[in-house]
Amino acid sequence: MDLFHHKQRVEKKRKENSVFFKRLKKEKPKVLDKLIHPIHEDVFANTDCLKCANCCKTTSPLFTDKDIQRISRYLKIRPSEFVDRYLRIDEDSDYVLQSVPCFFLSEDNYCSIYEVRPKACKEYPHTDRIKQYQLLKLTEKNINICPAVFEIAERLKLEL
């Protein structure tokens, strides 16, 4: 899936997805986790993130204090230096990247700090977490970024 095609698909389904997620947010179906987790597994078993990296190219993860400690230790620099060099504080008072694509994304789409990457990167796009009904706003937003989430939403629509 090329990213230009992804954008076109997202636009085509924007209205339909907006109606679908509005309904889900209202109904908060109890079966959501049970339905979405196997779909997530299946979609990601057939997704090659190294051919995409759109999340790392277009959005910043949040960096927790623990992330900052761990990554700066790995880079052998002081946490304050790490913050000065790479991070800024956003409107929600969270640490995020100063700019995207991520500084740690290599040309071949590998993450140069993969072993110590932020928790938010490890968990992205969060469709295998519990209590999915609490994450519907985020999942709907991530359709714009992540071809796998787009696919997950399409499959979910067939079930709900």
Angle between helices 147-159 and 32-45 (to 10 degrees): 140
Comparison of 29 and 58: residue with beta carbon closer to ligand SF4: 58
Distances (CA, A) of 21 to 13, 15, 45, 94, 124: 12, 10, 25, 26, 19
> Six-digit token pair at 81?
């230096």
Quick one: which of 125, 143, 153, 156 contacts ligand SF4 (CB under 6 A)?
Answer: 125
Comparison of 32 and 146: residue with beta carbon closer to ligand SF4: 146
Size of the site for ligand SF4 (CB under 6 A): 22
CB 131 within 8 A of CB 28: no
Task: Give, in degrees to the nearest 5, the angle at Cα 69 between 68 and 75.
Answer: 85
Of residues 30-89, those binding ligand SF4 (CB under 6 A): 47, 49, 52-56, 61
Comparison of 19 and 38: residue with beta carbon closer to ligand SF4: 38
- For the bound state, the minimum distance from the C-beta of residue 134 to ligand SF4, rounded and expressed in Å, comes to 20
- For the bound state, the minimum distance from the C-beta of residue 30 to ligand SF4, rounded and expressed in Å, comes to 27
Quick one: which of 20, 21, 82, 124 contacts ligand SF4 (CB under 6 A)?
Answer: 124
User: Dihedral of CA 79/58/50/152: which sign?
Assistant: positive
Per-residue DSSP letter, 111: B
Pick the closest to residue 143 from 133, 135, 153 (CA basis): 153
Quick one: which of 36, 96, 102, 153 contacts ligand SF4 (CB under 6 A)?
Answer: 102
Per-residue DSSP letter, 105: B
- For the bound state, the minimum distance from the C-beta of residue 45 to ligand SF4, rounded and expressed in Å, comes to 12
Q: Which residues form the interface with ligand SF4 (CB under 6 A)? A: 47, 49, 52-56, 61, 102, 104-105, 111, 113, 117-118, 121, 124-125, 145-148
